[in-house]
Structure 1
Amino acid sequence: MEESGLGRWFEYESGHAWCESAYKYQTLPYVAEFANTVTNLPIIVLPLVNIMLLRPYLKEVNFALVFPQLLLTFNGLASTYYHATLNLFGQLVDELSLVWIITVFLVVYIPIMKWFPQHFSARLTLVRWVVFVVTALISALCFLEPNLNAVALMLFSIPAAVVINYEGKHSGIPDIESFPSRILALWGVAFSFWFADRLLCDFWLYLGTPYLHALFHLLAGLAGYTIFIMFSMIDIENRSDTHRYTAAVRYFPTKRGSIFSFPYISLKKRSQ
């Protein structure tokens, strides 16, 4: 008899399985999708790196920047649990954390976004509450048809891409002028891997390479991290009248910033 109630939520393999599940438990006996599990590490670590590098600014100027980045780390942990167990609870926590990342991101960064109409600034608190309420309703809907959640989130990336492109191109910060193109290229390739893994699994199994979703994690994680680098730079620049920090984007391991290099913010405090 099929398990019902709360037990189903935590039962192994009660959620959506990805192509790698054809080889489930072969690397570790308690990890269903090994590659899909371990490739969440950059999603967990990279936001923490940015928080560490911006620690003085966060402490003295705008601590709110911490919250969306910590949520990205939480999403990496949730995704790790989901792919290790493939249970429905892990799937929903993974997807809902993405919804709330978007919400908290908007709440934190709306005041510095150029697309945000200035005449709404006086009603910023109301706008933020509307965003929270809408997100709560969307979160409830996520429980109705879990298999459609990932598709809905992918569709939401379209308006998100428009905002990212607009803000980056109109930031007036030379260090991040190329970031929209970089982010959209990373996300575009990541999305193609996500889509191909979901729809063409039999082909990848024939080739013996069912790891496109793992590549999606790596590229999407780098894209998300780059988004936070970009908006951190915008926040620092927009609040320059309230602090004495200067910031520049550097790259590891190369200085020229190839698409697979890691951008990071070099933060310095002016003496006067």
Structure 2
Amino acid sequence: MPSIFSYQSAEVDWCEGNFERSAIIAEYYNTISNVSFFILSPVLFYLNQQYRQQRALPMYVVSVLFLCIGIFSTYFHMTLSYVGQLLDELSILWALAAAYSFWYPKVYFPRFIKSRKQFFWLSGVTTLITTLMSFIKPALNAYVLNCIAFHLLYLTWRELKKCDDKRVHRTAAAMVVWWVLAISSWISDRWLCWFWQAINFPYFHSFWHVLIAMSLLYCCPLVIYFDVNYELPSFKPKIRYWPSDSWLVVVPYVALEKPYKQC
């Protein structure tokens, strides 16, 4: 029986050919494309420094977990090991759990939850149970994690209905576009691998890494913006764009300005 740390011991193998460009890296492009997560974390951390000064813990925790996603995804695609697969998927689960714990609006709490502390406990217990369940059928984990995106999109839609700020809507639209491109790449690599291998272009999972990181670049400032509205009522959040509003592709961030006024 092969070790759970052994190369190619995972239940999942993506479309890219194994060891074609390196003797030690199983999926070369799927591995190096994870650089997008190593860029994502410091960019979000730096640009949203005004928010970080007010709510340091969520920014530190989520930024570190984004780095963990990059590290473990790199390890998984480099080795295709069983341990690598689980670490990759669980790092995503833990990052989502942390984001929900810190940023899920209180107005959407279940009725039996009366405080953020209670919601932390609920999130922790749910994450623990889900972590244990992930060992049952690891091949299904990625599908379940992707389904969480639909709940995030639903929450975004609910919040956009309350706000007429054009920059917020523009950021949300860009997030959805990047996510659609990302999930299309993921599904294409998973379900149409036979076609991409036939034309010698099996690289859509590496596109997924870059595109989902781009979607998160837009998603996180949106979440921060809504969090400021709920948790920091003495501030007025404003979406800004780096490096300039005139650029086609920009990185949004949240600036905290004059006293809060209802959006």
Matching residue within 162, 176, 181 for 2:168: 176
Taking the aligned partners of 2:186 and 2:49, their CA distance within structure 1 comes to 34
The aligned counterpart of 1:83 is: 77
Shift in alpha-carbon separation, 1:269–1:249, aligned structure 2, 3 A? closer
Residue matched to 2:179 = 187
Q: Does residue 249 of structure 1 match 2:240?
A: yes
Name the TM-score, length of structure 2 as normaliser.
0.87
2:150 equivalent to 1:158: yes
1:37-59 Cα shifts (integer Å, max 9, x gaps): 11111122112111122335423
Cα separation, 2, equivalents of 1:255 and 1:168: 21
Post-superposition Cα deviations, 1:58-106, rounded to whole Å, max 9, x if no partner, equal: 23x1112211232122111111111111111111011011111111111
What is the Cα deviation at residue 115 of structure 1? 4.8
Q: Which blocks of at least 5 consecutive residues in structure 2 are unaligned?
A: 259-263
Aligned position for 1:11: 6
SS of the aligned residue for 1:249 comes to strand
Q: How many residues align?
A: 256
Q: Tell me if structure 2 keeps the 8 A contact 1:79–1:94.
A: yes
| 85-94 vs 155-164, greater mean Cα deviation | 155-164
Residues 248 and 266, structure 1, Cα contact 8 Å, conserved in 2 = yes
The range that moved more, 61-70 or 207-216, is 61-70
Secondary structure at 1:250's aligned position in 2? strand
> How far off its partner does 1:114 sit?
7.0
1:176 CA drift (Å) = 1.4
Q: Percent identity?
A: 23
* Structure 1 partner of 2:58: 65
Task: Map residues 19-98 of structure 1 onto 2, 5 A cutoff.
Answer: 19-20=15-16, 22=17, 24-59=18-53, 61-66=54-59, 67-98=61-92
Name the TM-score, length of structure 1 as normaliser.
Answer: 0.84
5+ residue gaps, structure 1: none
Q: Is this contact kept in 2: 1:69–1:228, CA < 8 A?
A: no
What secondary structure does 1:265 align onto? Answer: strand
Query: Aligned letter for 2:15?
Result: C
Q: What is the Cα-based RMSD across aligned positions, in Å?
A: 2.4
